Structure formats: structure tokens, C-alpha cells
Structure 1
Amino acid sequence: MAEIKQYSQTDPAWKAKLLGFDKTSTLGNFGCLLTSVSMLASAYGVNENPDSLNEKMKKVAGFSAGTAFMIPGAIPAALPGIRYVTYVNCSNAPAPLAEIDAWLGRGKPVIIEVDWSPQAGVQTHYMVVYGKQDDDYLVYDPYPFPVANGKISLKNSKYAQIAKTKELGKLITGVMYFDGPGAPLPPPAPPKLDKGVYASFPVYATADELAIRSQTLVADNTLLKRVAINTEMKVLEADATANPKIGQQNQWIPVKLADGTEGYTAAWLISKAKNANAPAPGTPPAVVAVPKDAPVVKASVDGLKLRSKPDTTDATILKVLPTGAELKVLETATEVKRKVGTMYEWLKVADVQNTQGVVAAWYVNIVSLGTAAFGPEAQRQTSGPNFSIGEILPVLLRTSEENVALRQFPYISKDTLIKRLPMDSELIAIEPPDIAAGKIGQPGEWIHVRDVNENEGYVAAWCVLERPEDPIPQVSPADC
């Protein structure tokens, strides 16, 4: 993706030009959509300013006859390589924020529609969303000139004042999606977040390889670096702002690392205290017993790198493998089929000498899928319930979301994962009931549990609920 070129519809070079086939409407007055399309196209390396795009659209009948109304479906004819995907009307429904975030996460800007006038009804204005900061969208507004004045945040814009809300789902009245030629995503630009305001406390990573990001978006093109569990970070906002976020899902905190890196990190994966259960830095991961019937893949390129973790720096290289080198996969057949050939997916493997690490799944082919089970549960001996009638009954739990991790130890790392559990999976707490019950729903807490297949491990307490009590039996005269 290329850097977006900012344009203004009110640029003196073209603001007086007639828009489309209309006899009175000008680019300066009504060219917001045309100008937004010009900016969006530049992200894909297709460069046309609003004036030249206006002329090209007229040549391909890209406006309704005699009017200034653009026909989005005609844009590919004027801008080869740019594809109109769809328009979503949000005037009577919340805007699809998750979908917008997904597009931004892939480095693809989107065009949004807002109301520009406090008069009754919606007076349509179009702008380009190019990024996200905290829980706000970063926008290029095509109306202001010079263009520097058009770089705004949506919640703090005049459009939020006009709409009388800062809720993005209500503020946005429509979304238009365009796609373009594929290109490598640009490296993320490190943000400047240190404004001289700091919390009185540091925070610590509660997950191994915690991401530090340039924006509050989980995407390849926002990743600045990853840090180890218990890494200390300086908080770049005041106590009153940071405290309510810590441990909360979908919240982000600006931080600064010891090496000076500034960025955002997931507030639900940090705490004010170190995790005493985490291994010391540099502790090698436990070697997994490799079953004879594990899935097998082979290198499809020469020089495939076996790495200690999914990181493409030289420091993680364990070995360099030739084309055709066979590797046993330490994951399920389902995961192998899902990952192989997919960019940015990694497979945990062992070579013929049982050197274990990860390889890029997009550089291997499947040889066989095997039938083996994986994870610590493949070697663990299990036991029956450790309570009896007359004792205090254990706490019964259900997972409250999909793919909840059951882990060997109470911290987040690829090396602690035993299995993932579907929503509503039933678990029994195998720690004192009064302790387990007090943790349910609490961020940063872990509960020692066993599942129906006798797998023991730890689950995140914020991902489970207490199972509803069994219904009271209804007794009828016929039962007596």
C-alpha cells in the first residue's frame, strides 16, 4: 500500500470546476465523494487528483445524465485496478464498526458518510477513514483547504457536534468499500505518544510476546514489536485515565518501553504486578513428546528457517532447512490443514533431530496428516473427581465465549496451550470452591479446572461463568 495523498475539494486549482454533467454544482460545493475516491485510490498507487478524476468519470459516463451524482460502479472504468465493493446504509442501523476495523487492519482505507448540517434530515458528506487511535477513527476530510486542516479525529470533529453524539456507530450514516491492487503493507510508523503525562505506576505484560502497536488495531501493519511476559512498561497517561482500563477487554493503553519504543498495548493483557507463575526470561520451552503418527510437512523452498518463535528477525533462527526437508507437526491435523499455505500463520514443528520450533506455514506442503493427539494432555495421566458426597460441592463453570484456552500454566503463551474449548464447555474447578467462586469473571485471574475429557489445566477467569443450578424436580402425585 502507498501513502495516501490528501486532496481538498476546495483547492483553488479546481474548486470552481463543474462536477460531472451538472450545470451549476462545482467540485468545491459537492465534490466530497469524488475527492474521497481520489484519496482512497492513491493508497493503492492509482493517482488521479479530483480534477483529472472528474474528467475521466465523465468520459466513462460515471455520473447520472445531466447531474453531479457519481455512479460508484463506473469507478473501475475510470480508475483501472480500483474495484467498488459495496455501500452500507447506516442511517437506521449502527455502523459496522467491526468490519471497518477489519478493513483498516488490512491497510485498506474506507469512505464513510456523515451528516454535515444541523438541519433536519441527513445532508451527506463523505470522508476517508485511514486509521484508528484509541477508540476513535482518524479521518481525512476533503473539505478544508489547506489539506493539513482536513486531518481530523472523528469524535472530536464538528460532525460529532452536529450529530450530538460521539458514538461512532451512530455518527456514521453510511460506509463505502473499495478495493485495489494487492501490495505489501507499509511498515508501521511509530506514533509519538509521550506528551509528558505519566501514570504513577508501571505495568507488566501478562502474556508472552505481547504486541506493541502503532494503532489500536490488531493487524500485521500495526505491529511495532513484541515483548516477553513480565516486561515493564511506562504508562503514557494519567492514573485516572489508565486505571479503569487495566484488565478490561477492548481497551488500549499508550506505553513506552525501556528502549524508547512508544505504542499501544492491549489493556486486558497487562497488570500492575508481575506474574509469579511465568518462567524466567530465556527459559527454553518444554520439549513436547512427538508421536510417531504426527502430521508431516515438507519445506517447499530452499533455506526455510526453523525459528524459536514466530518472529522474522535473525535472532530467532535455529536452523536453515533445504527444500524437501520433512518436519513433524506438533499441532492437530485440523490446524495443519487450516494453516498450510496461509500467509502469516506459523506451525510448531520438530525436525529429524527433534529440534523444535516454528516455521512459516506458507512455505511448507502437507505430506501426511497423521492421527496423533497433541499438547500436554497427550501425555498426562488423569484421575477421577477428588470430592465425595458430604463435602462442599465444587464450582461448575461454563465457557462464555468461543475458543477459550485451556492452559498448562496460568499465563498466556503458545507454549502453555493445551487445547481450545467451544462456547458453553463445562468445567469443574479443582481448587477450593470459595477461592474459585471469587475469581469468576475477574480480569487477570485464573482458575484450575478439569474438562469432561479429564484434561486438567487453567482457564482465564474472565472467560467463564458459573453454570446455572440444576432445576428443582417437579413432583406429581403419580410420583409418590
Structure 2
Amino acid sequence: MGKDSTHQRSYFASPSAFLQEYNRNIPKEADVPFNLVYYSQNDPKWKGDRLGFGAQESETIGYVGCALTSVAITLSGHGYMVTPKELNQKLKSIDGFVGSGIRWHSVTQLFPQIRLNTIVKCNDTPAPLAQIDAALAAGQPAIICVDSTPAEGLLTHYVVLIARKGDDYLMLDPWPYQPDPNKETYLMPRYSQGKTLQRSIFQIVLFENINADGKIMLPGQKGATTPTTSAGQTQGQPAPVSAAGLKTRVKADVNLGLNIRSSENTASKANIVDTARAGDLLTIVEPNGWMKIGAINQWVRVRTKNGKDGLAAAWFLEKVPGEKYPEAAGVTVPANEAGSSSTPGLTVMVKAKVGGAGLKVYETASTRSKVVSKEGMRAKLTVIEDAASARRKVGKAGKWLFVQTAGGGQGFAQAEFLKEL
């Protein structure tokens, strides 16, 4: 019932066209809650539209447009109002589909204030519910893939999770035509197919609105205030897991200070929200953000000692001695290093040039980080980031690949010592 793809190629006709699209898609108010905006993929206004570049007449929004509609629900809830019909056209204009499969990364090209935080494949492993819970607690809904039928095989369908309720989640489901968004709709009665909650979810896609205020409005609620429990916790939403709240430190050699920004654009001063000095401690406020510490060309969302949230260049950060970071093995992949369930894995082999010393696999994309494993000559590794972008890095000096070893460990390996099989 839905398709996705994580390959990426996009363009605008001119810089002015990009700026026009950028400015048009910025919400008028910053720090807003996520409001419930419901779209159905079966709405007559667009259900008959061909989805992306689908080759078959049956590949319409109404039939296989659940992923597209889930993204439209997510964007509109954050204040970037766009219907499935409009989003379909916008993504097509920047080559945002492979056939009828959406390229998740292309969404951020249209809406620069939205980051693709994480894509987690969990077809064969229990879904990391703590990561979903942390996103919801931060005001960021989760798009997930479920099995839409109890029949044999997997018929994928995408929905939007908005709150944790015990051993279940509240969701917005694109499939029904006219549901009441003011009534609670639970995931498990409709899509568990007799499985546990962890095994009912086959993929997780987490977008992040950098202007979110940490609130998700729930069915029946009105206004910008979300009721809280006696403990001060948002009703229906668990507190963030400990992995989002760990400390990182600005490296001592950052003499001029580290700018904390609202976007990843380093050419602008207008997006600077705060400046941290060398040695300052920063709180990580994104799930698994600790994995990016020290990594080249990675950004991590942090909170400064002044209470300002923003993005910090991860390569200027280091781990704090004594801080208890989770183990690297089995942790999910940062979004710009991730693939999807529809993208086959890329297998690479360690080159003979490493000699007897072997190839070290690091916890982060830095030779100063912890060594997760050491792989010998001709060892095979599975690349667990987008195959198309990974191929461009294989064999090149200064590039890193996020890989999984034969033993199941995950980490970063220097691409110049690897070749594709």
C-alpha cells in the first residue's frame, strides 16, 4: 500500500527559485506544537493522481500513496501546510521519487527547516520503541511501516504515530477516507496481525522540525496547551530516553567558540542561536545523537547552558569522561547515513593494502573514537547507509562508510580501504 526510496538527486532551476521555495515554506511562527492535521490518501481530490513516476496505472495516491500522505500529515502538523496532491507535484519537480517510491531525503530539499533524523529498518529485528518514544516526547511524530493484512507476506503501509499509550500507540492512518481525528485511533487493534508491538513495526522514519516546542496535540485537545500529568510529563507521551540527554563537550582547540545554529548553513550568521566556548558542556537532545560526536560532516542537536537548542558541528565535539554512553553495536543509523527497506544493502570487502594490521571500525567517523572491531584483509562488510551515496565514497580517501560486520557490530570504516563486491 505504500512505497519509499532513499536515493537522492535534486535541483532547483536557479538560486532565486530555491530561496523563494525556502521562504515560502517557513512557518510564520517558530516554536509551535504539532497540531493534528488529517489527510486521507483516498480523498477524491487526489486519490486518482499517479504517484511520483509510477509506471503502472494502478500506482496512484489512493492505492500506494500512504507514505506520501504520512509525510504530508507530518509536514502540515508542523505548520508547513501541504496536501498530498501538492507534495506529490513538489517532489516530482525535484526528482523526489524512484518510480512511485518516495525519496525520504528529498523532503528536506523542499522544507529546509525539516531534518530527516533517522531511518530504522527493523524487518528482522524488534523495533527500537525507545527511539520512537524519545521522538514523540520531543514533539516529533514518527512515520512507521506496518503490515496492512494478516495474509502471508508483507503488504507495507505507512502511518503516523503521535503518542505512546501503554503497550500501544495513537496514530493518524492515511487509509480511511473520513475518520474523526478527534477520536483516538490505536495502532495494535488495526495492524498488529497478532504480533507484539515491537514486531508489528517494520521501518521507522523520523523527521525533525527544528522549531518544534516539544508538544504534540492529542485527539480532543484544543489550543496550544497540552495537559500534563502530576509529574509534569506530557499526557500520553513518555519522557525522553537517557540516550537523548547525554553530555558532549566542545573541544579545547575551538578557540573562537562554536556557533550553535538553527540550520546547517554555515554561510549565514542569522541562524546562530548561541555560541559555546571551548570546554563547555552541551546536552544532546536528539535520539542517538551521541553516535555523531566527533564525526566529520555530521550535525547534532544540542542544548547550551543558556537553554538554547540548536545544531552543533559534531566534528568540534568530544565525549565527556565519565559519561555513560550506550554501546555502539545494534544502535540505529543517523538519517543521512541510512537506507530504507526498499534499498538493497551494499557489500564491500577490506582491501589487501591494510596488511596484517587490518581495518579498524570506529564508533564514530573519527580515528580518535573507540574502536568497535578490527577486520582482516578480504573481510566482507555490509554497508547500512544509502547504497547510491555509499558507492560514491567507496575507495575514496577522507570518506567514511557506516557498516555492519559479520559479527553484527556496527560502526564507521574508512572508505579508502574498501572496495565493492
TM-score bracket for this pair, using the shorter chain length: 0.3 to 0.5
TM-score (structure 1 length as normaliser): 0.40
Q: TM-score, with normalisation over the residues of structure 2?
A: 0.45
